[in-house]
Structure 1
Amino acid sequence: MDRLIEDELRSLSGMLGDIALRFEGKTVLITGAAGFIGSYIVGVLQELNRSRFRRPAQIVALDNLITGTKESGFFDLGDPNLVFETHDVTKPYLRDIRPDFILHGAGIASPVYYARYPLETITVAVDGIRNVLDLARRTRPEAVLYFSSSEIYGDPDPAFIPTPEDYPGRVSPTGLRACYDESKRLGETLAMVYHRQFGVPVTVVRPFNVYGPGMRRDDSRVLPSFLNAALDRRPIEIHRGGAQTRTFCYATDAVNGFLRVLLLGRPGEVYNIGSDAEEITMRDLAKRVEQAAGEPLDIALAGYPEGYPVGDPNRRCPDITKASRELGYAPTISLEQGLPRMLAWYRLLRSVDRPSG
Structure 2
Amino acid sequence: MHGQKRVMVTGGTGFLGSFLCERLLREGNDVLCVDNYYTGSRDNVLHLLDDSRFEVLRHDITFPLYVEVDEIYNLACPASPVHYQFDPVQTVKTNVHGAINMLGLAKRTKAKIFQASTSEVYGDPAVHPQPEDYRGSVNPIGPRACYDEGKRCAETLFFDYHRQYGVEIRVARIFNTYGPRMQTNDGRVVSNFIVQALQNEPITIFGNGTQTRSFCYVDDLIEGFIRLMGTPAGVTGPINLGNPGEFQVRELAEMVIEMTGSKSSIVYKPLPMDDPTQRKPDIRRAMQDLGWQPTVNLREGLEKTIAYFEWKLSGGVKSTLGVRSSRSAYTYLPTPAVGLPVPQAAPLGT
TM over 0.5: yes
**Offset of 1:110 from its aligned partner?**
1.1
Corresponding residue of 1:90: 62
**2:122 aligned residue (153, 156, 168):** 153
**1:322 aligned residue (281, 285, 295):** 285
Corresponding residue of 2:156: 189
Corresponding residue of 1:350: 313
Q: Which runs of 5+ in 2 are unaligned?
A: 317-335, 339-350
Corresponding residue of 2:43: 71
CA-to-partner distance for each residue in 1:299-326, whole Å, 9 max, x for gaps? 121346xxxx632100000000000011
Corresponding residue of 2:168: 201
**Offset of 1:355 from its aligned partner?**
4.1
1:33 and 2:16 matched: no
**Offset of 1:74 from its aligned partner?**
6.9
Q: For residue 146 of structure 1, give the secondary structure of its aligned residue in structure 2.
A: strand
1:43 and 2:22 matched: yes
**2:110 aligned residue (113, 119, 140):** 140
Percent of paired sites with the same residue: 39
For 1:267 and 1:62, locate their aligned partners in 2 and report how far apart those are by CA, in whole Å: 26
- Report the TM-score when normalising by structure 2: 0.87
- Structure having the higher helix fraction is 1
How many aligned residue pairs are there? 318
For 2:45 and 2:270, locate their aligned partners in 1 and report how far apart those are by CA, in whole Å: 35
Q: Letter of the aligned partner of 1:239 in structure 2?
A: F
Q: Letter of the aligned partner of 1:152 in structure 2?
A: V
CA-to-partner distance for each residue in 1:257-285, whole Å, 9 max, x for gaps? 11111111645321000011x21111111
> Which deviates further from its counterpart, 71-80 or 254-263?
71-80
Q: Letter of the aligned partner of 1:244 in structure 2?
A: Q
1:126/1:109 CA distance change after superposition, 3 Å: same
CA-to-partner distance for each residue in 1:115-167, whole Å, 9 max, x for gaps? 221101101110001000000000002x210011100000111xx21100000
> Does the CA-based 8 Å contact 2:3-2:53 persist in structure 1?
no
**Offset of 1:45 from its aligned partner?**
2.2
Q: Letter of the aligned partner of 2:36 in structure 1?
A: N
1:106/1:326 CA distance change after superposition, 3 Å: same
> Which deviates further from its counterpart, 263-272 or 312-321?
263-272
**Offset of 1:291 from its aligned partner?**
1.8
**2:253 aligned residue (278, 286, 289):** 286
CA-to-partner distance for each residue in 1:78-109, whole Å, 9 max, x for gaps? 211111100110011013x2x12110000121
For 1:82 and 1:323, locate their aligned partners in 2 and report how far apart those are by CA, in whole Å: 30
> How large is the Cα RMSD of the aligned pairs?
1.8
